[in-house]
Structure 1
Amino acid sequence: MNPWTVDPGCPASCAADPDPRVPLGELARRYAALTYTLTRAVARGDRLAEPTILRAEARAVLGALGVGLEVVGAERLSAAGGSGAGGGGGGVRAGGVGTLVVANHISWLDVIALLAVEPVSVLAKQEVGQWPVIGTLARRVGTRFIDREGSPRRLPCAVAELTDVLRAGTSVLVFPQATTWCSVPGGRFRRAAFQAAADAGAPVRPVTVAYRQGAVPSTAAGFLGDEDFTSSLRRVAAARQLTVRITAHDPLRGNDRRALAAAARRAVVVGGVVREGLCEGVTLR
């Protein structure tokens, strides 16, 4: 099997229309606010990559769309001792290794919500770099792209490159499911990124991303299957009381990529702390 091959994920039909919806006047206001926010972000040029600015702009995008943000378990995504704003670069830690941040994947909105908590470098599929506006912004904030259509022999090189980035002190966000699912459990966690963490001696921070509308779990934010971006954006903008909850779990350490991947997925799915000793070769820091 080609190591770049990913699971099919959920079909677009899993993304439900928002209920309740905002009035048309509020929907128009949100689109206008989003346009203003994105235009301002593009105008910032390379300064957009500065942690304080990037966090503020990510929060502004959520605000423009009327999406609430809840953070549980940690004030930042990098492991203890890492740096957020004011640390000399997004997710850059002086004098130490970075953190491999791994999260379940539901929507394009996941990245914005996670950057609103702490700006870290993002690993994304190459196609994202070609998206209008979004691609431009992704490149300016230092997103690292992977060509999943490339030769299978490129995988060891990609792992080595990620290892070097972590060793240099940069924290990196990865979605190990490699595609989007409508709910947290989703698919399996691919192991390649965990090999990079093991080789770099970097901690792994599992993070759960979940969406609710009011008090009810919601798939309105889903960006699934072969759906186009505009349709997904329309649902998000139309949703009343949509909230994204970011739950950061205790960091993991280990030298076995299989054990790390299994423990990280268990933490993300269960939504709680993985206890020490559940996986051989994995300990909590």
Structure 2
Amino acid sequence: MTSVWLPGAPCTPAGCADRPDRPVAVPLAVLQLVAGFTVGLLGVPGALLVRPLGPRARHAAVRCWARTLLRAFGVRVRHHGWPRPVVGHLVAPNHVSWLDVPLVATALPGRMLAKSEVRGYPGLGFLAAGAGTLFIDRDRLRALPGTVAEIAGALRAGAHVTVFPEGSTWCGRAQGRFRPAAFQAALDAGAAVQPVRIDYRLPDGGLATAPAFVGDDPLGASLWRVVRARGVTAELRLLPRIPADRYGDRGALARAVQEAVAGAVPLPPPDVRHAPPARSVPAPPPLPRQAAVASESANRPAASVHHRESSSPAAASSAATRS
């Protein structure tokens, strides 16, 4: 039976997640995979060690660990913008990959909203619980008001809370609709929303889709594709914050945040000679809207898939997905 929480996305591994033309050599890829797992596992005892620290020191440790984790998997990190020392924001990024979680943590450590099944994951469940993750049961619609109240309470207490309003991963060529439920928490708490744009880029500035975790993609296959990809840079763009009280309802607030993320101008590719970057870059084409909700797993699409990009982004067709 289909869950009421299941989002929709047209992306599939075969149709959207490109294999690199010049993959990293297998020995180096294996080394990066081992390094990534090692750094990830060190996060478990590390979570216990930093728990007694103050928020500033704890957040600095989390940022360092998250950046080291991404670098261990062979992914560079590039930020645009930096948060001012203001707490209690609802952080709302687009969702492309499992890499998004540590990527957001490199700039905005805080509490995450995750599906309830994550509690049972070996190691990861402990790490998530220790980091103050809020869990949502996507199969119980009646549990939603309680989850929204938990998010609002965390915001009032001064924590950043990160939600992925699309709820499912997209390959990066298109974006899903931002569902409004979590934005009610920002309205209830009187908190601002921090829109975040995530992109994965190749050295020449082109879109890297190897990190995309979509369709029936097993996590192992996604991990291997990431470590075989050469020169991937994860870009995190912090956009102007949006005060929730500017909007009368959660639907209007969700649309405003979605439009901010979808319309963000991509970062120009860094020049190898460190010359000043280009001052303007063409904006991305309009993105399709599609229902989505919180999920950390890949999605199961139906027969229609998101078309492979050639010289220009192709239009996406919709399909049902699973958690």
Distance 1:269 1:135 in 2: 31
Structure 1 residue ranges without an equivalent (≥5): 83-92, 274-285
Q: Could you say which residue in structure 1 is the equivalent of 2:5?
A: 4
Aligned counterpart, 1:203:
192
Compute the TM-score of the two structures, normalised by the length of structure 2: 0.73
Alpha-carbon separation, structure 1, partners of 2:76 and 2:19 = 18
Q: Aligned partners of 1:46 and 1:184: how far apart in 2?
A: 38
State yes or no: 1:59 paired with 2:67: yes
Amino acid at match of 1:143: T
Distance 1:184 1:207 in 2: 16
Cα distance per residue 1:185-235 (max 9 Å; x no partner)? 321000011111111110011100000122220110011122211111111
Say how many residue pairs are matched: 254
Distance 1:99 1:219, change over 3 A: same
Report the Cα distance in structure 2 between the residues aligned to 1:184 and 1:196, rounded to whole angstroms. 29
Identical aligned residues as a percent: 39
- Matched with 2:27 is 25
Q: Deviations over 1:51-110 (max 9, x none)?
A: 2221111111111111111101x223xxx442xxxxxxxxxx3xxxx1001010010000
Q: Which residue of 2 aligns with 1:180?
A: 169
**Is 1:134 matched with 2:141?**
no
Report what 1:85 is aligned to: none
Q: 1:75 aligns with which of 68, 77, 82?
A: 82
Pairing 1:114–2:122 present? no
Residues 103, 207 of structure 1: 8 Å contact kept: yes
Letter of the 1:121 counterpart? R
- Distance verdict in 2 for CA 1:135–1:228, change over 3 Å: farther
Conservation of the 8 A alpha-carbon contact between 2:9 and 2:176: no
2:231 to 213, 226, 241: 241
Per-residue deviation, 1:9: 5.2
Distance verdict in 2 for CA 1:270–1:100, change over 3 Å: same
Within a 5 Å distance, the mapping from 1:31-42 to structure 2 comes to 31-42=33-44
SS, match of residue 10 in structure 1? coil
Question: How far does the alpha carbon of each residue in 1:146-186 deviate from its partner, in whole angstroms, 9 at most, with x for none?
Answer: 11012x22222221221111111111001000111111632
**Matched AA of 1:177:** E
Pairing 1:260–2:253 present: yes
Q: Map 1:85-96; keep pairs closer than 5 Å.
A: 93=87
Q: Could you say what secondary structure the match of 1:75 adopts?
A: coil
| AA of the residue aligned to 1:147 | D
Deviation at 1:48, TM superposition (A): 5.0
TM-score normalised by structure 1 residue count: 0.83
- How many Å separate the matches in 1 of 2:259 and 2:49? 37
Preserved CA contact (<8 Å) 1:106 1:184:
no
Whether the 8 Å contact between 1:204 and 1:252 is mirrored in structure 2 is yes
- Flag the 1:128–1:8 CA change in 2: closer, same or farther, 3 A: farther
CA distance in 2, matches of 1:196, 1:105: 20
Query: What residue is the counterpart of 1:88 in the other structure?
Result: none
Decide whether the 8 Å contact of 2:197 with 2:238 is kept in 1: yes
Q: 1:64 to 1:6 in 2, by over 3 A?
A: same
Higher strand share: 1
Change (3 A) 1:31 1:5: closer
Between Structure 1 and Structure 2, the one with more helix by share is 1
Specify every segment of 5 or more residues in structure 2 that has no aligned partner in the other structure, as ranges.
52-57, 267-323
Kindly indicate whether the alpha-carbon contact (under 8 Å) linking 1:123 and 1:173 is maintained by their aligned counterparts in 2: yes
In the alignment, which residue of structure 1 is the partner of 2:156? 167
CA distance in 2, matches of 1:9, 1:162: 29
The residue that corresponds to 1:154 in the other structure is 143
The higher relative CO (CA closer than 8 Å, separation ≥ 6) is in: 2
In the alignment, the residues of structure 2 paired with residue 137 and residue 17 of structure 1 have an alpha-carbon distance, to the nearest angstrom, of: 31
CA 1:184–1:141 in structure 2 vs 1: closer, same or farther (change >3 Å)?
farther
For residues 252 and 185 of structure 1, do their structure 2 counterparts lie closer, same or farther at Cα, with a shift above 3 Å needed? farther
**Contact conserved, 1:48 with 1:141, CA < 8 A, in 2?**
no
